[in-house]
Amino acid sequence: MFIKELQEIWMSKNEAKIYEAVLEIWECSVSDIAKKSWIHRRNIYDTLTRLSEKWIVFQIFGGKENTYGAAEPHKIYEMLQEKQQTFEKILPYLKDIRSQEPPTEAAFIYKWIEWYKNYMRDLANVAEDCYFLWAKWNWMTPGVSISLEESFQRMMKLKWKKTKIIFDPRVRERKDIQDSASWEFRFLPEGYETPGIVDVFWDHVVTFNSVWVWNFWETGTIFVMINAQLAESYRTWFRFIWDSCSKD
């Protein structure tokens, strides 16, 4: 019922399903959990071990069959608060460690939806011009929380004059996306659809694969290249494509 929300704060998908099952049944066996969560028994044992290590689920001894109980929701909330307080204590020291100047030239890879969400946060906080080529409106991807999506769009709208978007031609079919666009945008012509995206900002060139309109798949990959001359080259190529594309 709240699988997505539980995944956002602390748990994997299976952990969230099993926690909800144990929470609802109170005292349940592995068989009960399997029926309720639709997870195979062999995967339940490993997940229960991880949940036990997080103090979210505990084993109840004494019966013929091992049974399990779940921590009260407010207890989990208290644990999350404690973790936040602990991190806040060391945050200034971690910032000091990271205080050195970022590299002027680098290349690295992000994978999976969590790294995509981190990329969204980074992009929203950059005050530079942003150019999006073969854009597919992926910040509305399933798995991105409503709060993050709203925060991202709010931050991006503050710099709408610095943002240009060239959409994948398939986005033309999504009138709801076009109507909600706050930035200047154009469309690539039919026949130029791709599963990739190119974002250019500051001295970064960021390319994506395995993406669809409105969906950065969980198996997607993000390739990040940092080089000022390369980024300027991509901006020049972007302007050429921009001048060749339709406004509607």
185: closest CA among 104, 131, 125?
131
Q: What is the pLDDT of residue 42?
A: 82
- Start-to-end C-alpha separation, the chain: 40
Spatial separation of the C-alpha atoms in residues 242 and 37, rounded to whole Å:
49
Pull the structure tokens for residue 131.
């150019």
Q: What is the pLDDT of residue 72?
A: 87
Total residues belonging to the chain: 248
Convert the pLDDT of each residue in 6-25 to its tens digit: 777 778 888 888 888 899 88
Spatial separation of the C-alpha atoms in residues 19 and 16, rounded to whole Å:
5
Pull the structure tokens for residue 133.
């080529």
Q: How far is CA 113 from the centre of its chain?
A: 4
Pull the structure tokens for residue 14.
């299976």
Q: What is the pLDDT of residue 242?
A: 94
Q: How far is CA 157 from each of CA 66, 130, 181, rounded to the nearest angstrom?
A: 54, 12, 9
In the chain (248 residues long), the average pLDDT of successive 10-residue segments reads: 76 87 86 85 87 87 78 86 88 77 80 73 75 80 67 69 84 66 82 90 86 67 90 94 84
Spatial separation of the C-alpha atoms in residues 206 and 128, rounded to whole Å:
14
Pull the structure tokens for residue 193.
């659809």
Which domains occur in the chain, in start order?
3-74 (1.10.10.10), 106-244 (3.30.870.10)
Helices (H) and strands (E) in the chain, counts: 9, 9
Question: Which pTM does this prediction carry?
Answer: 0.61
Residue 65 has φ and ψ, to the nearest 5°, of: -130, 140
CA torsion sign for 36, 145, 138, 171 is: positive
Convert the pLDDT of each residue in 150-182 to its tens digit: 777 777 677 656 788 899 888 877 666 555 556
CB 171 within 8 A of CB 189: no
Pull the structure tokens for residue 248.
């509607």
